[in-house]
Chain A
Amino acid sequence: MGAVSNSPEAPSLIDAVAERKELLIAYVPHAQALGFKVVDAKPGEAWLKVPFDAKLVGNPATGVIHGGVITTLLDNCAGVAVATALPELRSIATLDLRIDYMKPATPGLDVVGYTRCYKVTRHIAFVHGAAYHEDPDDPIATTAMTFMLGANKAPPGAAFGVNAR
């Protein structure tokens, strides 16, 4: 492993990115193409935002954004929550994603995703989350996901711009 885990006490991913939390999604081309922003991140928790944009619209009659935008926001947000929950860098891959749509997003408004990784086992991480405009208690959608740890051959830190030689 590289600089991050060579130190006697390997800093977590969250320490590695320090105040530059935008790095948590800077190396995900799809997140960049959709304009995702990191609102905040703590160990095992993440908040991402997708600013409203006309290209996200899934229903031209109503102007409501596509459900897939919410799925993508929560999937990426959960990936960050899992990565920051882990004591060391590991590759992660979504295994299962359940999403429930409570109400359509309001046209013109940004959407915030919040996810919490509440359990990590040897091979699997478990996440809950929700998407909302302003009030987390008035969700647009909620989600439950599982992630596989060490699932692929990608360099573990590559998705976060951390060098793990």
Chain B
Amino acid sequence: MSAPESDSSQPKAMRSTAEVRALLEAIPYCQFLGITVEDGSDGGIVSRMRFGEQIIGNAALPAIHGGAIGAFLETAAIVEVLRISPAGGALPKPVDLTIAYLRSARAVDTLARTIVTKHGRRVVNVRVEAWQDDPARPIATAQGHFLVARDDA
């Protein structure tokens, strides 16, 4: 998955990975989950949830809690919306999210990328994909809508 070409309805100004990282570092729950961002190989942004004992859901497997994966997918969507939004706006608000759990999330780091499917004036539609070792073997995907406040709206 890669970032879509910017269209005319989309603001030109984008946040850098460092700027998005600074925003994430101010969010307590993202810090608790161990979520950070890095540059993707395709010029986009990749979210990472570092494995930690505090996100284990099933200690016998062991596997990461489905809720932590859901929170990570939601955060990865917010990260991408922030990246393509001009600085100064409020955080995007989740409206709905549908998560498909494809494989058990093992006790290692999890990565995620987001495609903005449609960037409307008020609502953004996103698709998120999360994987661990192999991007071709996703562990979970999500699709959802976020409310955004646009200065030009």
Contact = CB atoms under 8 A, between A and B. Distances in A.
State whether these chains interact. yes
A98 interface: yes
Contacts of B96: 98-101
A113 to B, nearest CB: 10
A71 B98 CA distance: 11
A29 B61 CA distance: 13
Contact of B57 (A28, A98, A104): A28
Majority-rule SS of B interface residues: mixed
Q: Is the interface of A mostly helix, strand, loop or mixed?
A: mixed
Contacts of B67: 30, 68, 71-76
A90 B134 CA distance: 29
A153 B62 CA distance: 11
21 contacts: A28-B57, A28-B59, A30-B54, A30-B57, A30-B68, A31-B57, A31-B65, A33-B55, A57-B29, A66-B30, A66-B74, A71-B67, A93-B104, A98-B97, A99-B70, A101-B95, A104-B93, A152-B63, A152-B104, A153-B61, A159-B60
Interface of B: 26-33, 53-61, 63-68, 70-72, 74-75, 90-91, 93-101, 104
